[in-house]
Amino acid sequence: MKRMINLAPGKVWRVALAMLPFALILLVYMAASDARLAENPQDKLLPSFEQMGDAINRLAFEPSKRTGEYLFWQDTLSSLQRLGMGMAIAASLGMFLGLMTGALPMLNASFAPLLTVVSLIPPMAILPVLFIVFGLGEVSKVALIAIGTTPFIARDIQKRCLEIPREQLVKAQTLGANSFQIIVRVLVPQLLPRLLDAMRLSLGAAWLFLIAAEAIAATDGLGYRVFLVRRYLSMDVILPYVAWITVLAFVIDFALQKLSRVAFPWHEPKEGGA
Amino acid sequence: MIEINNMWKRYGDSVILENISARVAEGEFITLVGASGCGKSTFLRMLLGTDTPSQGQILLDGKPIADEPDSDRGVVFQQYSVFPHLTVLDNVVVARAFADSRFGFLFGARKRAAIAEAEELLNIVGLSHMQHRYPDALSGGMRQRLAIAQALILKPRILLLDEPFGALDPGIRADMHELVLRLWRQHKLTIFMVTHDLKEGFHLGTRLWVFDKLRNDPQAPNAYGAGITYDLPVGACEPELLEEIDQSMTATDAVVDSL
């Protein structure tokens, strides 16, 4: 018998072992759900997969009686739009701030401490401010995501920028490069994959801000829906929505990772991210 | 060409280099050897412009040398001197792009000319077959060849080598020596090379500088800095001398290590 630390599963076993916990969770859920429904068919707490399927079928493939919209897809679209805009703003702004404070010591001296302080402000605490300033429309939700994730991305990029070996910058200077050329040809290309990493890491927070903002003030969106149907204890809607949000988050994360691999083949992704 | 006048370097209380004066003519190949912590690399950094003397000055053609790196002085570090995000070819072409364009990108005929020039240089250093790979895929020796090609494309007058072969296997190191000597003769460079290896210093170049502490105070090891204790024309040295230098350096090392 080998030592435990040297025992590694083969390819097939690795997949099987990965699937095992998921299967177990499903089995436990199904058993618990069946038991409760056998006791009381009206139970709403642990709906069967059939009930969840019905609920989603209703929301996704039948037009809403009130508005004529397909609510599930409308919610998904609205949420993804908010998330996408928020992340796009956060990524551009974070990249710009991180790059400038990382590359130029003068800007670092005056803005890096500010950035540190701003990043410590809990974004949820200023959500009321955003609602007051931007109203209850789309802007405040996008702003919350952007404000919540920009400082993290900016600080991460700044740190990565300072981690680029000084030797490279000196080398570029001995090749006659000016500051602008060094930023454009040495720093930015090396920071872009880092930006994708930082976006992947901040996606979790972005989802949190999105759902919180939607829960408080919205007329559609995934977060809005789950908080709306909570009033009716509609676990048959909430659980599939949560699963759907998880799937979306996973797909976005996976897409960013793939993009990083394809666009920056020289960049070895460090293990342990996300 | 280069004149160093009574130069000192201090960091706070500790003296790194004391009172160094020297003259270097165009086309000399100077190897700098010495115990660790004797300021060879600091000296090279001051030639490069990333560090400045505390006192005294370095003159290039009678004028104080620029206090930031420029294209007069090429450099090869022990590591990290190539750009990991550019292919081997682009690593060399980018130097032309820095020098010849405002924003760092070349287009059309100028780009083709730069590529042709870079390909020729890569051929000289023996990297033609790796042109389209990333530095990640290169061995340590290949990476240093690339760094040399990169440093030479703009035809600098001075080439600074900071332990460029320190991390290489002995066999590869010998190849690299050949390459550097050939390029030095071809391009009429003035080379300063820092090395740990005394034999390398004797083998390469026209002149050997030994950096060592002139005085050692075991109670205050940082009170005295290093100077150039030997300034020898290479080729005129007896084996006994090599041994003597080696012993004096080892003695300094022992003092430094005992701290």
pLDDT of residue A34: 93
pLDDT in the model for residue B253: 66
Task: Please tell me whether residue B240 adopts helix, strand or coil conformation.
Answer: helix
CATH architecture of A59-263: Orthogonal Bundle (1.10)
The CA distance from A176 to B109, in Å, is 21
Place A274 in a pLDDT band, splitting at 50, 70 and 90: very low
**pLDDT tens-place string over residues B18-43:** 888 888 988 889 998 888 778 888 88
Q: Is the pLDDT of residue A72 over 50?
A: yes
Closest CA to B44 of A182, A165, A174: A174
List the structure tokens of A140: 């405040």
Residue B254 has what pLDDT? 64
Q: Kind and range of the H or E element at B32?
A: strand B29-34
Record the tokens describing residue B84, joined without a space: 């990991």
Structure tokens at A21: 């916990």
Identify any residues that bridge with B161 across adjacent strands, giving them in sequence order. Answer: B76, B193
pLDDT of the residue at A271: 44
Neighbour-count burial of B140, counting CB atoms closer than 10 A to its CB (0-12 exposed, 13-18 middle, 19+ buried): middle
CATH topology of domain B2-72+156-257: Rossmann fold (3.40.50)
Note the pLDDT of residue A28: 96
Contacts of B153 in chain A (CB under 8 A): 175
DSSP state of A183: I
The burial class, CB within 10 Å (0-12 / 13-18 / 19+), for A112 is buried
Least Cα distance to A159 among A167, A151, A170, A148 occurs for: A151
Sheet containing strand B29-34, edge to edge, reads B63-64, B55-60, B2-11, B14-24, B226-233, B207-213, B29-34, B190-194, B158-162, B73-76
Would the CA dihedral through B57, B59, B62, B63 be positive or negative? Answer: negative
* Angstrom distance (rounded) from CA A174 to CA A168: 10
Among B81, B103, B156, beta carbon nearest to A167: B81
Chain A within 8 Å of B167 (Cβ-Cβ)? no
Q: Give chain A positions within 8 Å (CB) of B151.
A: 171, 174-175
Contact B98 A181 (CB under 8 A): yes
What one-character-per-residue DSSP string does B137-194 give?
Answer: GS-HHHHHHHHHHHHHTT--SEEEEESTTTTS-HHHHHHHHHHHHHHHHHHT-EEEEE
Identify the H or E element spanning B10: strand B2-11
Q: How many CB pairs under 8 A join A and B?
A: 81
| A185 with B104: Cβ contact below 8 A | yes
Determine the Cα–Cα distance for residues B193 and B155; give it in Å rounded to an integer.
17
Q: What percentage of chain A exceeds 90 in pLDDT?
A: 82
Residues of B in contact with A177 (CB under 8 A): 98, 104
pLDDT in tens, B47-99: 999 988 888 889 998 888 888 899 889 999 988 889 999 999 999 999 999 98
- Tell which residue, A109, A111, A105, A100, has the closest CA to residue A180: A100
Residues B227 and B245: beta-carbon distance below 8 Å: no
A205-241 confidence digits (pLDDT tens): 999 999 999 999 888 999 999 999 999 989 999 999 9
- Predicted structure pTM score: 0.85
Cross-chain residue pair B104–A181, CB shorter than 8 Å = yes
- Using the predicted structure, report yes or no on whether residue B237 has a pLDDT greater than 60: no
> pLDDT digit string (tens) for A93-148?
999 999 999 999 999 999 999 999 999 999 999 999 999 999 888 899 999 999 99
Q: Which residue of A has its CA nearest to B100?
A: A176
Under a CB-based contact definition with an 8 Å cutoff, are residues A68 and A184 in contact?
A: no
- Scanning every residue of chain B, which has its alpha carbon at the shortest distance from the alpha carbon of A179? B103
| Average pLDDT along chain B | 85
Helix, strand or coil for residue B72? coil
Sign of CA dihedral B232, B238, B239, B245: negative
Q: Tell me the nearest-neighbour CA distance from A192 into chain B, angstroms.
A: 11
Separation between Cα atoms, residue B207 and residue B184, nearest integer Å: 14
Restricting to B residues 42-61, those with a Cβ less than 8 Å away from any Cβ of A are 48, 50
pLDDT greater than 90 at residue A252: yes
Confidence of residue B187 (pLDDT cuts 50, 70, 90): confident
pLDDT of residue A273: 39
pLDDT of residue A31: 95
Q: State mean pLDDT over B128-140.
A: 90
CA distances from residue A209 to A217, A243, A256, A261, B168 in whole angstroms, order as listed: 12, 18, 20, 28, 52
pLDDT band at B257 (very low <50, low <70, confident <90, very high): low
Residue B258 has pLDDT above 70, yes or no: no
The candidate with the shortest Cα–Cα distance to B159, out of B180, B141, B137, is B180
User: Are A174 and B73 inside 8 Å of each other by CB?
Assistant: yes
Which tops the pLDDT comparison, B111 or B205? B111
Residue ranges covered by each domain of chain B: 2-72+156-257, 84-154
Q: How far apart are CA A253 and CA A201, in angstroms?
A: 9
ipTM of the complex: 0.85
pLDDT (tens digit, 9 = 90+) per residue, A12-61?
A: 999 999 999 999 999 999 999 999 999 998 888 899 999 999 999 999 88
- Structure tokens given for B166: 């320190």
Q: How confident is the model at residue B242 (pLDDT cuts 50, 70, 90)?
A: low
